[in-house]
Amino acid sequence: MEKWSLDALYKGYDEAFEASVKNIETLIEDADAFAKQLDTVGDNTERLKTYVTIASKLRETMLKAYAYVSLRLSTDAQDEESNAWMNKMQQLSSKTTEYNTKVSKWIPTIKNLDEIIESDASLKPYAFHLNSIKDRAKYVLSDKEEQLISKLSQTGSSAWGRLQSLLTSIVEVEYENEVVTLSDIRNKAHSKDADVRKKAYEAEIKAYKKVEHAVAAALNSIKGEVNEISSLRGFESPLDEAVYNSRMQKETLDALIGSMQKHLPMFRKYLKRKATLLGHENGLPWYDLFAPLGKSNRAFSSKEAIDYVVKNFKSFGDDLANLAQRAYDESWIDFTPRSGKRGGAFCFNLHPIKQSRVLMNFDGSFSNVITLAHELGHAYHGDRIFREPILNSSYTMPVAETASTLCETIVKKAALKDSSGEEQLFILEQSLMGTTQVIVDIMSRYLFEKQVFEARQSTPISPNKLKGMMEAAQKESYGDALDASVLHPYMWVNKGHYYSGSLSFYNFPYAFGLLFAKGLYAKFQSEGSAFAKDIDHLLQKTGQMSVEDVAALVGIDVSSEAFWDASLKVIEEEIALFLKITA
């Protein structure tokens, strides 16, 4: 039960997998043939129906095969067979570019698109999808340019991203006369032993020196590519493109960031008190950022962790609890850290088989139990979205963190309610630790990425410069709450979110998700179980609406700073409690 099973996808690179790849190739040929006749006169209603059929089959078949390869690589970055198949999958993806480009240019030419959709029952469910293609057409380049970008990205940003993942998964970290993985050493940041935390931090920093130049090259190459392509498409900046891709208005992001910055001082109060409790006079050194306070003697096995999560999920509803239990019983979760396995945690929703897979690097800590709840929240979101057609299943980054953070909040709140004394302090501080990461550290990552994009417009950035930029961002976000002489200059090396050519600024969505979830949780507490159904409906519709419209389903205006202030007020109350019980 410690490792996931991928048998529901494929049992290996066998005849079934190869048949799927051949089917993808046939579907691409069908798609190309369809696209080539779009310039001729024809019945647009029937063509739109054909497009929906082809696009659905192609997405479903490609996602299933790609997911299998990607998931295998995530637990063994050196798997040669999987690496070869990943190259094949990227080639196949590239071959869909001409078809996608032609469709994206054809749909905006249909002058009565809304009328056609409204008059045909089979097209109505795809109204948002089709209109999104129409709107995005202004950023689509020529057929040849789109094909070239797609092909070059295979040996460009995609390859650089794989390099970062490989290097951080296999880099050898020397600790106490042993060689351990980066995931192992980063987990020690949560150790009860102060000496272990400090030595682990020093070993981690030392290990990054082995790969800093190669990873810096990867970061420079990816951000340089994004700068060029974003500008070519007509966006003012990669940030503007990220906001557009998030189906969000810039005023919503501005309201979120403005509220976060306004409330940074209250987080600094918490961090300064923690520093004092740990005996530090000049702020908190980075290696004690995750130091546990209070006492909890519980060390969770994977079974105990899932039992704990399931029990607390029941307070929201049986559907959520049953989904979490199913994930464990059907081996959706890979718990065990090991060499070659990527660090951190993620959830991969698999629409073709109506299941998800969750990767963990589980060490038995309460912090990891919270991470498990977070990732199972993503799986629950997937379970809601699986009720929609696959073309309506793509939700954007900000709302992607809603269910996960809501589930995390449910478990934290339940644990806090059932505790007292040292255990209550432990749980409260664990909650604030995570919240601080999502607000304060996310702010530093947001500031850093903005600066990297701006600096990369004129010149490549050296590892030393990147380290300086990261420390500057940390100082701006954490202020005097951290010991300025003991920061984390290499945080850019281990965060995989920086290393995507198609997904920039994967930082502010976490803050959005946290605070949006806080608002939803508050409404759930006041309105009861009936509101859980509203949340289910909200999650199900996230693939078919803008961020603002999704929030409006439950009466929330996310473009107002007042909403974010109210959500942060909930966290302020927790900080006040922390300061009170540690006085």
Contacts 24+ apart (CB under 8 A), 415-424: 415/312, 415/366, 422/294, 422/295, 422/296, 423/294, 423/295, 423/296, 424/294, 424/581
Residue 224 and residue 453 in contact, taking contact as beta carbons nearer than 8 Å: no
Strand partners for 358: 333, 347
Q: What is the mean pLDDT of the chain?
A: 94
**Each residue's pLDDT tens digit, 541-567:** 999 999 999 999 999 999 999 999 999
The torsion angles phi and psi of 342, rounded to 5 degrees, stand at: -70, 155
- Identify the pLDDT of residue 56: 97
Distance CA 94, CA 88 (A): 10
Task: Note the pTM of the prediction, 2 decimals.
Answer: 0.83
* Helix ranges (DSSP H) in 171-285: 182-187, 194-208, 212-233, 238-245, 250-262, 264-277
**Each residue's pLDDT tens digit, 21-52:** 999 999 999 999 999 999 888 899 999 999 99
Averaged pLDDT for residues 239-249: 96
Report CA-CA distances (Å) from 574 to 77, 423, 533, 578: 40, 15, 27, 6
**In this structure, what token pair is assigned to residue 57?**
């089959």
Report CA-CA distances (Å) from 249 to 136, 235, 236, 246: 15, 14, 14, 9
Distance CA 555, CA 166 (A): 44
Backbone dihedral region of 479: left (phi > 0), alpha (psi from -120 to 50 degrees) or beta? left
Please determine, for residue 198, whether its predicted confidence score (pLDDT) is greater than 70. Answer: yes
Instruction: Name the one residue in this structure whose structure tokens are 């019983």.
Output: 329
181 closest CA partner among 281, 320, 80, 76: 76
**Each residue's pLDDT tens digit, 52-70:** 999 999 999 999 999 999 9
Burial annotation 513-531 (CB, 10 A radius, 16+ → b, else e) = bbbbbbbbbebbeeeeeeb
What's the chain's Rg over C-alpha atoms? 24
**Confidence grade of residue 1 (pLDDT, cut at 50, 70, 90):** low
% pLDDT > 90, the chain? 86
Helices and strands of the chain, counted as H and E runs: 27, 5
The pairing of beta strand 355-359 with beta strand 333-334? parallel
- Identify the pLDDT of residue 37: 93
Neighbours of 556 (CB within 10 A): 19
Contacts of 490 (CB under 8 A, 6+ apart): 204, 205, 208, 212, 467, 470
- Identify the pLDDT of residue 420: 83
Contacts of 335 (CB under 8 A, 6+ apart): 1, 2, 3, 302, 360, 362
- Identify the pLDDT of residue 123: 97
* Greater model confidence, 434 or 385: 385
DSSP H or E run through 174: strand 173-175
Please determine, for residue 297, whether its predicted confidence score (pLDDT) is greater than 80. Answer: no
**Each residue's pLDDT tens digit, 416-463:** 887 888 888 998 998 999 899 999 999 999 999 999 999 999 999 999
47 closest CA partner among 110, 101, 121: 110
Residue 29 and residue 77 in contact, taking contact as beta carbons nearer than 8 Å: no
Strand partners for 348: 357
CATH classification code of 15-155: 1.20.140.70
Residue 570 and residue 526 in contact, taking contact as beta carbons nearer than 8 Å: no
Strands (E), 232-372: 333-334, 346-350, 355-359
Contacts of 152 (CB under 8 A, 6+ apart): none
**Confidence grade of residue 394 (pLDDT, cut at 50, 70, 90):** very high
DSSP H or E run through 178: strand 178-180
**In this structure, what token pair is assigned to residue 38?**
């779009």
**Each residue's pLDDT tens digit, 255-276:** 999 999 999 999 999 999 999 9
DSSP H or E run through 383: helix 366-385
DSSP H or E run through 175: strand 173-175
Domain boundaries in the chain? 15-155
Residue 435 and residue 514 in contact, taking contact as beta carbons nearer than 8 Å: yes
